[in-house]
Structure 1
Amino acid sequence: MDFVEIKKIGSLSADIVAPPSKAHTLRALFISALAEGKSTLRNALNAEDQQIAAKALNDLGAKIVFNGKDYLVQGAEGQLSSPKEIIYTANSGVTTRFLIPIAGIAKGNTIIDGSERMRERPIKELLESASKIGLKTESKEGKLPVKVIGKTLIGGKTEIDASESSQFLSALLIAGPLTENGMSVSVKGEMRSKPYVDITLDCMADFGVKTDREGYESFFVKSGQSYKGRDYLIEGDYSSSSYLFAAAAITGGIVKVRNLNKNSAQGDKEFIYFLEKMGCNVNFSGDSIVVEGNSLNAIDVDMSSCPDVVPTLAVVAAFAEGKTRISNISHLSAKESNRIETTAENLRRCGIKAIPGKDFLEIIGGKPHGAVIEPYNDHRIAMAFSIMGLQTGEMRINNPNCVGKSFPDFFSVLKKFYGD
């Protein structure tokens, strides 16, 4: 599809099952691929990033298949071998970054490359941090493509600046138990997206590896531990659910989303409380959350821990009275697109004043109208502005297939909103 047209919806009342968690599925794939024995990742997300990760891990020696609902994984027990072919990671930041330390444990040398955008995204800090504990790599200016020299990551003490991405830290920690000396990592600077590190540590623990930590300042993974294969149920995804809740917020409708863990480590669950602060009615019942739209007011919010829902909140803010300020989001510039700039650009196309900064985005609420939206191959931009179209109508989303990166069924779910 070159584009889709989003029509204005009449009334909205929907009951939807949350898609599986992107973050949990990816981490479970990497960890189970390194584990002893077999694992079944139940209710797994099988979107583009997961498919890219599974292929890469298969190339390194794991055996992963998707049976239509679950991933079946035969772990490589840490015995990895580099493939003859280049591992292509497209625009998957998690896959690219998690692979680098793991390739440093494998036998042989591994070349990792990605899309044009992935070649622009940062990995230099990860390469430099890992080099302090043995990893040898070859790259130009610390960017893809990168050649990782096998059997060079021995572990030990290092430090990392996680202000660009917490994925750097997660990548080191996952590889930690397979190194000769374990992994002791001190964090310098302000870590962004902290909840994703919590998800990493939870997944590691669920597969049998313990991490000692002091807050978000230092982490230690002892060597000699091993991941154990297991049955693992993937919880629902708050990031993908944010679009469904935003639909209720801007249309004045009611949306119920099931299969959400109220005690989840996912940072994007904060989106619910942002909507409540803006005026929506929010109710919890078991594993379900119900959001009912209402008159919306602007808020001032720090979103350093939940960057993936910034475009979604910005779209809701377009309908709110007053000026919404979203701060501490400089790390959004290195996502699938520069999300601060692309969100602001598309808001302006819809008649909304938006002021982007290096670390913030301000939105002056008003009466948005439909427009031609250019998502720049960013799934979260495409989905956020599709939701805006439910209220404005006459919204055209270019390159809608990009939603396949995290929510392949997104437009099918949208059809359910119309009763189709």
Structure 2
Amino acid sequence: MKPQSVQFEPVAAPVSGKARVPGSKSITNRALICAAMARGESVLSGVLESEDTEVMIEAWRTLGLTLHWDKQAEVVRIEGCGGQPPTPHGDLFIANSGTSIRFLTAALAATQGEYRLDGVARMRERPIADLIHGLRDLGADLRSENESNPNCPPVRIHGRGLHGGVAQVAGNVSSQFLSGMMMAAPYARAPIAIQVTGELVSKPYVEMTAAVMQSFGVSVESHPSENSANLHYKINAPMHYRGCEYAIEPDGSAASYFWGAAAITGGRVRVQGLSRGALQGDVGFVDVLEKMGCEAIYGEDFIEVIGKPLRGIDIDMNAISDTVQTLAPIAMFAEGPTRIRGVAHNRHKETDRIGDLAKELRKVGAQVTEHEDGLTIQPGAYHPAVLETYHDHRMAMSFALIGMRTPGITILDPRCTNKTFPRYFEVMGELIGQSPCYR
């Protein structure tokens, strides 16, 4: 039976040890898009076993591709379709996977066929209009079928391919719109230039996209626009990705919770398989912890954080916004307030990761001021609380850190971590020397 809640007891001593986290969700779904669209077979290793991966793989299977997923070995073998799925039609259920619906929408708009993409109720509240408008600039025929909220899914695609040329896409809501267009661009009939309008949030994820594309044989050029500081990206077309062997890094966002355990308990935790040169911008969370007073050690195949007395900081988290929920519990135990800025787009993720996060931290006794673009967290006296997770994996994982310092923290719907880290509470429990208490 699915557990309704989970608890950890406060740790009796500083947490010390090593951890290895699963493969990156972000890299896994980018690699699956490139491999599926490629010519030839690809072998992906280090593949994350999660709901998001299941959704992406099942979508490509529905479209007729041959995939073999060895979950124990963390390997996917996939025979690419060369840019045209064998089954050129399908009704695809995407659950609440933002990367899947945005990347698949762009990729399928570059093919010939009829497709519909939909998900859970929350997915019908997550924006996709900027991606639709950007793809239309390139000749795509697609629209939202959401009559009550036409900026959101479901999406209906009449695939007629992309003619190429110049497109614009807003950068202030999600970098996934730009990443999706970049990955689809090689299959256009002519080269593509994508101009980003406004601020580009989470820019490291776009750089990650370009790096994954490069591994599959397609280069991306990026330049500042002539009349502004905004960027534009150029991709030659028509081209094809080439099947290859591709190793996926451990997930930097997942690693943040283990570094956070070191920070919040004054301990020492090493995460294996990551380095300062990782593709994922979220390893930059370690820099945030250093600003708060922690020490970091970087190796060729590990990053270690040593917890020290924590001080509050004023920090722009735009580039690593998925780690805001990790920072918030740590800030609760720092000396002085912490102001988190630059993450207004977090309101449009699995849940409102500003408003809902503030609501739950207040239940514990934190003094939280909500801003349009973030939060201010003022440390206080804490007490037991039952915390909602809003079916958001990052809520559940971050709240475990509060329980390491505060008795009686009950986290609801713990299996929502299946989205990116199904065994999170077990792995964290091994590190802190406890078995998670499920009810």
TM-score over 0.5 for the pair = yes
- Counterparts of residues 14-33 of structure 1 (less than 5 Å): 14-33=17-36
Preserved CA contact (<8 Å) 1:18 1:260 = no
How far apart, CA to CA, are the structure 1 residues paired with 2:86 and 2:31? Answer: 20
Preserved CA contact (<8 Å) 1:235 1:261 = no
Q: Deviations over 1:267-313 (max 9, x none)?
A: 21111011111111211222112212121100000000001000110
Preserved CA contact (<8 Å) 2:88 2:112 = no
What secondary structure sits across from 2:405 in the alignment?
helix
- Counterparts of residues 46-85 of structure 1 (less than 5 Å): 46-68=49-71, 69-81=74-86, 85=90
Aligned residue identity for 1:328: G
Distance 1:272 1:395, change over 3 A: same
What secondary structure sits across from 1:86 in the alignment?
strand
Picking from 146, 160, 179, the partner of 1:151 is: 160
Aligned residue identity for 2:428: L
How far apart, CA to CA, are the structure 2 residues paired with 1:86 and 1:226? Answer: 25
Q: Deviations over 1:371-402 (max 9, x none)?
A: 11101111101100112101113111101111
- Paired residue for 2:5? 3
How far apart, CA to CA, are the structure 1 residues paired with 2:380 and 2:259? Answer: 20
- Paired residue for 1:173? 182
Preserved CA contact (<8 Å) 1:81 1:107 = no
- Paired residue for 2:279? 265
How far apart, CA to CA, are the structure 2 residues paired with 1:186 and 1:170? Answer: 12
Preserved CA contact (<8 Å) 1:311 1:339 = yes
Give how far 1:54 is off: 0.9
Aligned residue identity for 1:149: H
Give how far 1:63 is off: 2.0
Give how far 1:83 is off: 5.7
How far apart, CA to CA, are the structure 2 residues paired with 1:115 and 1:297? Answer: 40
Give how far 1:64 is off: 2.1
What secondary structure sits across from 2:339 in the alignment?
strand
Give how far 1:84 is off: 5.1
User: Unaligned stretches of 5+ in structure 2?
Assistant: 225-229, 435-439
- Paired residue for 2:331? 317
Mean CA deviation greater in 377-386 or 387-396: 387-396
How far apart, CA to CA, are the structure 1 residues paired with 2:341 and 2:433? Answer: 37
Preserved CA contact (<8 Å) 1:80 1:105 = no
User: Unaligned stretches of 5+ in structure 1?
Assistant: none
Give how far 1:81 is off: 4.9
How far apart, CA to CA, are the structure 2 residues paired with 1:335 and 1:126? Answer: 15
Picking from 344, 365, 377, the partner of 1:351 is: 365
- Paired residue for 2:380? 366
Aligned residue identity for 1:122: P
Preserved CA contact (<8 Å) 2:270 2:302 = yes
How far apart, CA to CA, are the structure 2 residues paired with 1:256 and 1:19? Answer: 15
Correspondence 1:34 to 2:60: no
What secondary structure sits across from 1:306 in the alignment?
helix
- Paired residue for 2:437? none
Correspondence 1:284 to 2:286: no
Preserved CA contact (<8 Å) 1:196 1:267 = yes
Correspondence 1:294 to 2:297: no
Give how far 1:47 is off: 0.9
Aligned residue identity for 1:192: V
Give how far 1:86 is off: 1.4
Preserved CA contact (<8 Å) 2:361 2:368 = yes
Q: TM-score, normalised by structure 2?
A: 0.93
Correspondence 1:206 to 2:215: yes
Give how far 1:354 is off: 0.6
Picking from 190, 206, 217, the partner of 2:199 is: 190
Distance 1:223 1:122, change over 3 A: same
Give how far 1:20 is off: 1.2
How far apart, CA to CA, are the structure 1 residues paired with 2:59 and 2:384? Answer: 40
Give how far 1:254 is off: 1.4
Aligned residue identity for 1:376: Y
Give how far 1:85 is off: 4.3
Correspondence 1:117 to 2:131: no
What secondary structure sits across from 2:154 in the alignment?
strand
Correspondence 1:395 to 2:398: no
Preserved CA contact (<8 Å) 1:59 1:83 = no
Give how far 1:415 is off: 1.7
Mean CA deviation greater in 185-194 or 126-135: 126-135
What secondary structure sits across from 1:289 in the alignment?
strand
How many residue pairs get aligned? The number is 420
What secondary structure sits across from 2:83 in the alignment?
coil
Q: Deviations over 1:9-28 (max 9, x none)?
A: 11221211132111111100
How far apart, CA to CA, are the structure 1 residues paired with 2:301 and 2:17? Answer: 16
What secondary structure sits across from 1:103 in the alignment?
helix
Q: Deviations over 1:43-74 (max 9, x none)?
A: 11121111101111222232222112111111
How far apart, CA to CA, are the structure 1 residues paired with 2:257 and 2:34? Answer: 29
Picking from 30, 42, 46, the partner of 1:43 is: 46
Alpha carbon RMSD of aligned pairs, Å? 1.4
Q: Deviations over 1:195-222 (max 9, x none)?
A: 0000000000010001122056111111
Aligned residue identity for 2:22: P
Preserved CA contact (<8 Å) 1:247 1:388 = no
- Paired residue for 1:306? 320
